[in-house]
Chains A and B, each alone.
Chain A
Amino acid sequence: MFAFAVARRYLLSNPAQTALLIAGVALGVTAFVFITALIQGLAIRLTDDVTANSAHVSLEPLTRVARVLPSPDADVASVALVSTFQRRQIRAWASTVALLRSQASVSAISPQISGSAFLVKGEAVAPVAVTAIDPSGLDAISPISTEIVRGDAGLGADGILIGVRLAENLGLSAGQPVLFRTDRGIDRLLTVRGIFETGLQSLDERVAYLSLQTARPLFRLPEGVTNIEVKLVDPHRAREVAAFLHEATGLRATSWQESNANLENGLAAQAQTGTLIQTFSLISVLIGISSALSLSANRHRGEIGIMRAFGVSKRFIASVFVLQGLLIGMVGAGIGCAAGFALCSWLATLTKPDGSMVLPIAPSEGGYIAVIVLTTLGAVLASVIPARSAARLDPLEAIQQ
């Protein structure tokens, strides 16, 4: 195509300026790729952190129980008291666990008793959130045994695992006894078997683990559990699986996304910021292309005038400039993507002394296809204005220079 030949020669006729223009486009594309890979990487890291350390779906009884269940406690007096004192529980948890086992999407199941209690050591009293689990499934939902810094993770009878901050606050060390007082005033002397350190203040200061067996009498749940925590093969299917489990069991099923609405909102806000930066980097690229082509159209006024005088169509003139935009966009996007990938890959190798990444960047998530398509399309659009003004040049005015 002759217009393409003209476009190519126009670009090559001023190599320094063309190189600068392409470098500008590539730089904008690199910025786009960097910010995309960073935001995606950050989202992946945050999501991974959450999904690695918490259940993907939590099953609990519905909050409001419409009917009054028969109480296992013979000594409670009234129906009203039954409903408040009655710990909401899943009685038929064995069948629920069986159902969960049959699901290919489920990777781990942890029936639990959750409750609150106080740990008392001398004068000191500390509230704790108690999670009672089957000792063999201690690490099913989040790794605990690997976080033990003193003692061990062996949760035998009357054993308790507490966090390092709690241990400090109460002056406890592994092997020592501690008084455990439930919210119903039941006291029991337990032994601190191990102390864990997750690095998360809320866990290290507030959470204690017991075995289910130890917890049953303390929380007066001889048979049931309060909740069943589930891990999935693919955490991103949690909403869908939760909906299914709710249908199948009648229990309230909460996906990790619902439990971490803050994270969702945070990620959405972050994505919006990213979109803003991406948009601005693209706009600056497009303004660059548009103004460079306007300058080029001006520099070639005389020839354009001659071409028009010789009856060359406006469309031909316009296509010379649109093709220049297309070439600049494609070459710039290609170079920018390559540079962005190289930059992100290099940044991904940088680690802090503790082995974690300096920037949680995901080089493969740079939005390459999107940026190539957007830049190329955008470059064509950006060249439309200079192309039109070149095509509309009055040949007489253009020639008389």
Chain B
Amino acid sequence: MSAVLDARGIGMTFRNGDEPTDVLKGVDLMLEPGELAALLGASGSGKSTLLSIVGLLLRPTTGTITIAGQPIEGLSEVERALFRNRRLGFIFQFHHLLPDFTATENVAFPAAAPAGGISPAMRSRARDLLARVGLADRMDFPATRLSGGQKQRVAIARALMNNPELVLADEPTGSLDRVAAEQVLDLMRQVNREDKATFLICTHDEQVAARCTRRITLRDGRVEGASRSDGLSG
């Protein structure tokens, strides 16, 4: 089976005034189906930038990206949005749930917004996902009445709603305490195993990285000697 992600020679140069900053200087990154990869690196090393480029939220200065066999270069803005909607899932440090909607509605919305409404099939899938993330008893709670960890679990369920091939997570446990972070991480590992969804998780946290199947470290704008590990219990 071909790679889920094949990024080659990704370069990113930001221009702040007259000073161009080369944040990424030719990153090569390939993810196989079912990988749970941690993206590590010092603060400011370009982790979020790389994740945004891979997530089609940012266009790189140089390089090519192929996701699930689809080359991205030729896609228009609208096609990129459609691609994000159908094939990618996102988990951010700040979940930004729609505060006036229930947990179920929040999970369903990546499917509901393009369709124009929540169909019964969407609702039942959203409920299944909520049950899997351990929120069976919170499905009809408004998002504002959930705890931080619960909100992040809703965000994970939301990222899985459209059955994405690649889930991109930027500091998903960054604003959670140890226990909640453990739960969220275990959940991602479980989904990764059960659904064979590929994860790229950007983190500072060694404990998070230790539980992933692979570590990718950014240094000086490049991937530092990528090494495989089997994780603690993977």
Contact = CB atoms under 8 A, between A and B. Distances in A.
Co-complex (A, B): yes
Interface stretch (B50-58, B186-194, B204-212): B50-58
Contact of A313 (B58, B78, B118): B78
Interface string A1-12: 111011001101
Interface residues on B, range: 20 to 34
Given A306-B92, A399-B94, A311 B81 contact: yes
Nearest to A11: B100
Interface in B9-50: none
Contacts of A305: 96
A13 B99 contact: yes
B86 A311 contact: yes
Dominant secondary structure at the A interface: helix
Contacts of B110: 310-312
B71 interface: no
B74 interface: no
A144 interface: no
Contact of B96 (A6, A311, A399): A399
B96 A306 contact: yes
A233 interface: no
A309 B86 contact: no
Contacts, number: 75
Nearest to A401: B94
A2 B117 contact: yes
A307 interface: yes
B101 A316 contact: no
B90 interface: yes
Contacts of B83: 311
B156 to A, nearest CB: 13
Given A309-B90, A311-B83, A2 B116 contact: yes
Contact of A316 (B97, B113, B118): B113
B115 interface: yes
B82 interface: yes
A154 interface: no
Contacts of B96: 302-303, 305-306, 399
A302 B97 CA distance: 8
Nearest to A307: B113
Interface in A304-327: 305-313, 316
Interface residues on A, range: 20 to 34
A310 B99 CA distance: 17
B84 interface: yes
Nearest to A301: B96
A358 interface: no
A307 B106 CA distance: 11
B225 interface: no
A399 B171 CA distance: 13
Contact of A311 (B84, B100, B112): B84
Contacts of B94: 302, 399-401
B90 A303 contact: no
B114 interface: yes
B60 to A, nearest CB: 14
A396 interface: yes
A288 interface: no
Contacts of A177: none
Nearest to B49: A396
A395 interface: yes
Contacts of B78: 313
Given A309-B55, A311-B85, A1 B98 contact: no
A3 B109 CA distance: 11
A200 B158 CA distance: 81
- In order of increasing CB-CB distance, the 6 nearest A-B pairs are A311-B85, A302-B96, A311-B84, A9-B100, A13-B100, A311-B81
18 contacts: A2-B112, A2-B113, A9-B100, A9-B101, A13-B99, A302-B94, A303-B96, A310-B90, A310-B113, A311-B88, A312-B113, A312-B114, A316-B114, A395-B57, A399-B92, A399-B94, A399-B96, A401-B94
